[in-house]
Every structure is written in structure tokens, then in C-alpha cells.
Amino acid sequence: MNLPEESNNKEYPTSKDDSASLENLELSSPESKPTVVQGKKRLDIRDLTLSELTEQLKELGQPTFRSKQIWQWLWQKGVQSFDEMQNLPKSLRDVLTDQFTFHTTKIELAQYSSDGTIKVVFKLHDGNRVEGVLIPTSKRTTACVSSQVGCSLDCKFCATGYLKRERNLTAAEIYDQVILINQLAEEHRGKKLDNIVYMGMGEPLLNYQQVLKSIHVITSPDGLGMSPSRITISTAGIAKMIQKMADDGVKTHLALSLHAADNESRSAIMPINDSNPLELLAESLNYWYDKTGVRPTLEYTVIAGVNDSIEDERNLAKFARKFPSKINLIEYNPISTADYQPTSRLDDFADGLSNQKLIVNVRRSRGKDIDAACGQLALKSR
């Protein structure tokens, strides 16, 4: 599980591997290529924007209103095939089937925890797998979704960090996770989703365009119509992109996976910190707050002997005061690929911060009886 400057035109690559991704961010594609069927290249219809779809339908001799109808089937009703688009004539559905592909996402495996958490492995059209989670509490029904297949950021406490990054997800693949987790919520809890967190596999800000497109279709009236204030983007901390989110007027909440509040300790467990140290992150979070008025959340997973000392507590308090913030202290879920354990000091740590008048929430581990840690189930499913 994971859960957001410096000034002015400086480049802050995340790591050697990711500098290219950042330079090409505006064009960051989902890396899906047109599918070739019987010698013909076919685009996934959900890779198109509304105006591109309208243009393509015009070329097929279709009236403009059809593109709006199709768009609503795709993004409002979340259908998984052309055949479900019932107000389209059969002849048009046949043309669409001939001209486009419709990549779909399936639930391959679901694990049910006694606390109501449901962890899901999604199988994508190309055989890759990502994870999502339904997290029901008395107050909310939350979906945690992935943004990349694997992750390049190599956080030492995270099972996904041990999975090589394969590719970015498309907006449609992110949207599918939401639709499918919502179906599970309705089926098993009798409730619709009311929150979405981009805290699953991958770093959302390294798949910026597709993440934003997915938020657009989740929040727009022609999509699922959900409020952006019900969505949280969680980043391991790419200062430049936090600033960009603020500049782009992104209306979601923002969480920083902090997990250590001095550079040496943080770099040891999160290599991204080498190129995006705490000073830059504090500047970018100040920038975010000044522009949006939304307090960033600091996610801090407390790990025994790693970041749970009194000094760690002091460092966290000092960092959290650099801008208006709230702190989520998270109970650690052990993973099979690293030798970290949860702390026994979680409550003391929380009390110490609360006594300093900081806003602190403790997030107990959910789904302890299933493979709760992010990436753990996908790792097993390989």
C-alpha cells in the first residue's frame, strides 16, 4: 500500500530509470498499441477522447449524436462490450466491432477478509495483473485502485516495489477497477462506493495523463458523476508533479507516502527520496496548499525499529508543521519479500503527535487474514 517545490523550472527526476518518464510526461501513453486483427490496426475505443470518437464516427458516416450515446455507454454505464449498447442499431454495433477493439478487465481472483475487506486481482487484456481493494468501514465504502502494472520506485517495505514496472494502465483500466469494485460493494455490502483512493500498485504521478483522464470520466456528469473531493491521489513524492497538479487545478485530495521524516531514513526505505528530498516535498506541498486550500495528508506506516522512535516522532511533527497537514499513521502489513514488522508503539506514537496538537488518525491494518499488503496477492498470482 502506498498512499505529494521548489521553484522554477528545475528538473527533479525521480531516479535514473524514471527521468525519461518525467520528460515525456505530457505524452505519457498508457503504452497500449493498436491491436492488429486480420491485418487491420484497430484502436481501443476507450483510448479515444470524445472529439476523437465524434470524428471517427463522422468518417464512418454516423450522425454526431451517436458519439454522445456511445460515450455514455462507455463511461456512464460502464458496459464491457458493444453488444450491450442497446440503443444503437445492430448494424452500427457490427461496424464498431469491426473498427475498434474493446479491451476489458476481469476479476481473476478475490480474497474475502472477515473484516469485510475484499482484495481483488484484476487480469488485463494483455495478461498483466494488478490489484484493487474494497475497504468497507462503518462510515465509508472505499475502493483502492492501481495506476501501473508493477512499480519502478522500489520502496523497500512494499511488495509492489519488488515487482518490475511493466507498463502504465490506461484510464479505462483504472475506471474498470472502480466499476468492478463498485459491483462487489453493491453485491456484498449493499452499498455503492463513496471514496476512491489511488493507492494501489504503481506511482500515479508517473502515469499522470491517464490518471487525470480516469478522474475526469469518474467525476464528469457524462461519466460516473462522483465528486472529486471523494478521490485521493497518493504519491511517493514527486515534487515537480505535485506542483503540476496544483497548477492544473486538480480538485482531488492529495496524500504523500512519507514513512520517514529525515532524509537519511527516508532514502533508506524510499529511494525516490534521493532525487525528491523532504525540503523539495515541503515546498511542493506548501505550493499545493496555497493554490488549492486542501490540506495534504501525510501517510506514515510505522515499522518496528525503522521509523518508530521518539526521534522519528519529533521529525514527523517538525515536517508536518511546515504546511497545514493531517497525519495518517498506518499499521504495517508484513510482506514475504522483506523482513519488516509492525511496531508495538503505534498508539504511543499517535498520542505523542496528538499531544503536540497535530491532526492524527490511526489506520489499523485491514484484511489481516488475507494478503493485505499492496502487491502481495499479485506477486503470488504471477
| Nearest distance in Å: CB 164, ligand SF4 | 11
| Nearest distance in Å: CB 199, ligand SF4 | 8
How remote is the C-alpha of 362 from its chain's centroid?
21
Residues that bind ligand SF4 (CB under 6 A): 2, 151, 153-155, 158, 160-161, 201-203, 236, 257, 374
User: How many Å apart are CA 289 and CA 94, to the nearest integer?
Assistant: 50
Q: Rounded to the nearest 10 degrees, what angle do helices 208-219 and 171-189 cross at? A: 50
| Nearest distance in Å: CB 129, ligand SF4 | 14
374 catalytic per annotation: yes
Please pick, among 144, 151, 158, 374, the residue that the annotation labels catalytic.
374
Q: Are 103 and 97 in contact (CB under 8 A)?
A: no
Q: Can you tell me whether residue 180 is helix, strand or coil?
A: helix
Please pick, among 131, 203, 283, 299, the residue that the annotation labels catalytic.
131
**CA nearest to 215, candidates 191, 231, 200:** 231
| Nearest distance in Å: CB 105, ligand SF4 | 19
Give 17 or 55: the residue with its C-beta nearer to ligand SF4.
17
Helix (H) or strand (E) holding 312: helix 310-320
User: How many Å apart are CA 341 and CA 191, to the nearest integer?
Assistant: 34
Residue nearest to ligand SF4 (CB): 2
User: How many Å apart are CA 25 and CA 354, to the nearest integer?
Assistant: 39
CA 76 to each of CA 70, 183, 218: distance values in angstroms, whole numbers, following the listed order: 10, 14, 8
| Nearest distance in Å: CB 367, ligand SF4 | 17
Give 70 or 302: the residue with its C-beta nearer to ligand SF4.
302
Ramachandran quadrant class, 290 (left: phi over 0; alpha: psi -120 to 50; beta: rest): alpha
Give 48 or 261: the residue with its C-beta nearer to ligand SF4.
261
| Nearest distance in Å: CB 116, ligand SF4 | 23
User: How many Å apart are CA 379 and CA 108, to the nearest integer?
Assistant: 14
144 catalytic per annotation: no
**Long-range contacts, 343-350 (Cβ 8 Å, 24+):** 343/302, 343/303, 343/304, 343/305, 343/308, 344/304, 345/302, 345/304, 345/308, 346/302, 346/308, 349/302, 349/308, 349/312, 349/313
121, 123, 128, 133 alpha-carbon torsion, rounded to 10°: -30
Give 46 or 167: the residue with its C-beta nearer to ligand SF4.
167
Q: Which amino acid is at 180?
A: L
| Nearest distance in Å: CB 130, ligand SF4 | 11
CA 29 to each of CA 165, 196, 208, 236: distance values in angstroms, whole numbers, following the listed order: 14, 23, 9, 21
Give 202 or 334: the residue with its C-beta nearer to ligand SF4.
202
Give 101 or 152: the residue with its C-beta nearer to ligand SF4.
152
User: How many Å apart are CA 282 and CA 276, to the nearest integer?
Assistant: 10
User: How many Å apart are CA 324 and CA 272, to the nearest integer?
Assistant: 23
Give 32 or 148: the residue with its C-beta nearer to ligand SF4.
148
Give 54 or 257: the residue with its C-beta nearer to ligand SF4.
257
Q: Can you tell me whether residue 179 is helix, strand or coil?
A: helix
Task: Point out the residues that are catalytic.
Answer: 131, 374
